[in-house]
Structure 1
């Protein structure tokens, strides 16, 4: 692993690594492996900038030794599938602005392509929408659906040679859909994080000594020390100690439950009183708390009443839209004006 010391102070070191050399998940694995070394008091990684911030005891380990530890992390460790499986998946950072910028760049970059290629790409975007509209028509008997309106407007524009118009409509529809999806994912992800996830470091017992590691470094059979007021970071069983655990986030119980040697505990619960030493049974994606997070994620498919009412209203307007298009064609015989009436409600989609 190629690293370079970027900034150094007594007991504090910032090291940069090559973003092209290792993946974010491998960087988290490297963080986990370095965190358990003697003399390392804390280590954090920024996978966007490609840097590690290390706090250490200079009387136990030197800057040069820390640098050599990173350099010793070759493919033997960073490509080990079993080690990588223990590392949590790196969440993808999403934002509406990034979606807007990438969609705009993609849209205007296509204008630089030759016309036949642009038309081909346009039809590859239209066909799935047309298939969805026809599927809705045959499955539910809805001839005048919002999907059919979208598909009709796009197809009409493309077939009449209005490539730019069809491309712009397709871009607006795609942008609206992607903004809706990322808003859902970010909102529910934040909810799960606020309710169930703790970023505080984990204290473990190793060879009779207490060490601090990031939660991502926790693995099966580790002995975790949890003190009063801290969140339990794993599913497991109590090895020793006694305490009262608030399990409301898992079971909904309003009163803390007594835990002692042999009792089972769950990640995401809070130790209200006492001190426990817990034998780790499962971490990360395998914990019960992750099942709850998955349930929260799945719940975004359930629509609120206000959303259903809005969609029903939109469906009722669509036949009027097609009727207006038909009347426009009947009285004007102008395909451009007819096509315009099909597109009159695209502000509603956004």
Structure 2
């Protein structure tokens, strides 16, 4: 392997390997680097070839380079080419065939089948031995070879069946490549409208010039980062901030690629195009964050590897003193790897299947492991703790008017418009069974400000305080106290005026999920010591929602990279962080966290990036996910202890002659079967 230094700053360096290497090599390399005194963090990702080092002192980095230089001699064992079923869910038919079909087949057929299926494992064994490695692959191959030499084709069939099933499970639980995620997020724009020399022209996106003015109309996505030079529009920036309500953007304001114009039209001077846009920065951030997430996996298999030389030595001593190939084979057959390599992925798959039944999809074993140690939960507010669906919270009528009049008249005006706040007002009137007739004249809509119309010969205005008070000159002082109180509670306010006099205020909110407050308490009771809320909303709204939910830590007005930065800082403090969000804007933070969680209704990208998906759409399933991870790890650790204890006892019995080889092999296989059955038991109680 040849390492190339990608970048280096004091205390941090990233290297990349030119040639591919596998998980086992990554684990060995990470273990060796992590053992260097002064090394504060190691991340090795075999999928990307990335090696990230966090260290204290230049001498530490120099020692790490020495280890990497020695690693040039490492070679990864060849991996058999994947079959057409690679990555599919492993089935139980091979076990059925072994138990109920194989006994009735001719001996010659079983011989050929056993030999054919043993070839990949024998090749792995030869590869390990040729490179001076005594690992589990070498032990497996040796045990299979001895069984073939003894013409024990039943044992060969069982060994290849168990080992092959374990490999299939490993492929099944492997996380999808991140290159697909980038394609989901990247803006696919072929042609755009631009204004050149006063003329609007449709041009290929690749031909965009800095002097062009990009024209973006209602319903279209902004294709570039830029500054508005002409026009006014209501822009939905939920892809950036998570805030569901559109914001007004006029001359001099910044807009970002990936946001959507809901109403109006803009002429934008591009400042960033293509890979330099904020959206593409998010893509690259996700890729880098995914590399940092790669940790050292398979600790139990590593321990089994370390026991292999001892097993080989014992088998050699037995043959040396007894000259019995059968006795030596009994030592090789009573090893730790079969149970460890099968029971652990079975426990993971069983927990994953149990999670699906409980509407929690966990995408792999390392995420179950991370769930078991989570001590910090970071929530995105909009769409996660809240429903991301504006609703009318309350109506306050001015003197001389009543609430029903205010809401009925507002709904009469708003029903002509499709934006979320308009739908909320109309729905609010419907919930109160308020009927309204078409008594107004043509509605005049002022983009991102409000509505003006004539109702029974009187001028009616509905919109923001800025529009009603400053633009139209209506005195809203009579509602000052109510407006201040509603603002403190985090509501967005619509003002209604009739003939130049304020008639009332409609308070619109993004309602909190009914289970959110109780969930926060359950998480604290379950051992989560820190709960943090992140939102693109302003300080006032963030404070009100956090207070309502009993959350003491929150950050407001954060962009996607800010969310990821908060998550990374928590991890740097030694926290095991779970991040839960539902939008494209949450994807960098989901990738940065130890465990990324999203809801069933989350964006396509969030569901792809997330390690856990709550398929029932309820936040209560988050507690189920945490309990599932803790239960699965308890089961795995118990199986490990049982495997080590029982097989050590059987090995001792075989060495001392207390157990005959056949009996030792039977006990060994029964242990494998026992821990496997234990691994497949439900992790959570049926009452949960």
TMscore range, shorter length = 0.3 to 0.5
* Structure 2 length-normalised TM: 0.27
* Structure 1 length-normalised TM: 0.47
